[in-house]
Structure 1
C-alpha cells in the first residue's frame, strides 16, 4: 500500500500507475496539501502505519531541507516503510541529496521532464527500488532471542478499541507477530469493518494458506484456521456494543486513547466493561503523564499498560515487554 503526500502542483503525478483503485495490486492513498513532516509523523502517521511505501513530494512540505532530512531520520526510526522523495531538479551535489542517502533513502526522483519523472517513479516503486544510487544501509532490528513453551490450546483473545483508528489492528497484529516469534502458534482473525487484510496480503506478499494467508508463521484470515493452535486473536476494532466474542474471550484487550478528545470515548467503553476483566492498552501517551492516566483508567477489573510506537504492524518488538506481561500466565516454560 502506498501513501502519497502531494502538493497541489503534483496531485496527478502518480495517476499513470493506475493504482488508485482499491482492488489494484498496490493501492494508493493520496493526501494533498501543505505539510510539516515532523508534525505529520507525530500526529498523523499512526493512521497509516500499515502502509509499506511512502512517497513524499518535497514541495508539499514547509520544512527547510535540513529539517526535512532530520524528520526522515525520525520517520525511519519510528516507522518502517520504503520512502521515495520527489524533488524536481535536485542535483546530486546538493546537500539534501547526500542527506537523503545518508539516511538510507535511495529512491530519489529528480528529473524535470514528465516522461522521465514517471520512469523514475516506476523504478522507485518496483520490487527492487531505484538502484542507481548508493544509500547508507540502515541497521536492521535485532530479532527475538528468547523462546517460550506454550501448552495452552485455542486461547481466544479479543482486541477492541474505544473509537475508530485507535490502534486495535496494529495491536492485534503486533501481538500475533510477537507470540509467533517467541514460540506460539497463532491465528489472527479480522472481524472489523476496516477490511484491510486482503490489501495487506497483497502488500506483504503473504503466502496463501487455506482460506487465509501465512506470513512469518502467523495465519491471517477472516475466520479461525481449521487447525488447533495456542492462540486465536480476534481483531474486533471499534465496538459500540459488545458482541459474543468480546464477552466470551479468554482475554480481553481494550485499546483506549488518553488525549482530551479521546478520553470520553475511553471512559464510555470502560464503563461498559465495568465488571469485565481486561487489559487497558493506551498508545501515544507521554511518559510524564502515564501514571496520572493509569490512576484514572485502572480499576479492580482493569489493568493499564502503555503501548510504545509500533512502526511496523507485523513487528512486535517495540511492545514486547507489554505483550509478555499480558501473556505471562500462558507461558509454560522456556
Structure 2
C-alpha cells in the first residue's frame, strides 16, 4: 500500500506552525525531563511529580516531541529517552542543553517577528526589535550575555573534534585563537599538538570563563584581552572560528587585515565557517544565515564570497577543507 501524495497546503501550514517545536524543546529542557528518564521510562503522572508539571499537559508536550524522535511513548503510555532526547540531559557526553536554552531564549526569538522589515530595509531584525545592535545588548545585559556565551560555547564544542581531525595543525609555533570565546577549540588543538603554544584572544569579560587551565601546562598558553577590530597578537596561525559570519564584509576585511599584519613569515589564517554550497539542497549554513539575518550584520558565505573577502584583506585562499560536520576550514596565506 502506497502512501497518499503529500498535500503542499498541509505541508506549508505545518511549516508555519514549526515554531512550536523549539518551544516544546525549551519547555522539556527547562523542566529537566531528560534527566528524569536517565534511569528508565516513566509514566506522565510519575514524571510530572518529579519535574513539577501538570501530568496531562506534560503528556501532550512529550507526545508532540516524540513525533520528531525526541522521547518515545510506548504501548503502556510511558516515555523513554531516545538519542535526540538524551542530548538534552545536562550531564550527557554531547549535551546541547545550554545551546537549546540560549537559542530559544526570548531575546533571540522575539526579533524573528521582524524578519520582513529586515528583508525590506537590509538591517538586522534585532536592531528593530530592541533599538540597538545585538552585541551592545549583551554588553548591557550580563545575565543574557552569560546565557548566550555558555550556549555558544556548547554549540561550538559539538564541532571541535571534527575540526582538529580535519586539519593538519602545525607541530610548533604559536596559534592565536581570534575571538576564541572560552578556548575549547584551542584547548583541543594544543592537546593534539604538544609542540604548539596558544594565545586565546577575546574580550576580557568572555575570557573570564576560559577553559585553558584544563591543559595542565600553563607555559603553553596565555589569554590576551583586546578588540580584533584594532589589532590581534602575533602568531604563526590565526584561527577564527565562527567569527567572520557575525560581521559585514567591511568589518571582516578589517579583522582579516589585522590578522595578516600580525602573521609571522610563512604563517596562515584559518577561518572555520559554514561554507554554503550551490543548489537548493538543505544545508546547516543556510539555517545559520537566517539567524544572522535576524541578529547581526553578518552572513554565511559561499566559497567565491570567501575568496573575494580574503583578497580584499591582502590574503590568498589556498584551500577549503571540509570537516565531517557542517563547517569547513578556509585556509589562506599572505598574497604575493
TM range (shorter): 0.3 to 0.5
Greater fraction strand? 1
Which is bigger in relative contact order (C-alpha 8 A, separation at least 6)?
Answer: 1
Q: TM-score, normalised by structure 2?
A: 0.39
Q: TM-score, normalised by structure 1?
A: 0.39
Greater fraction helix? 2
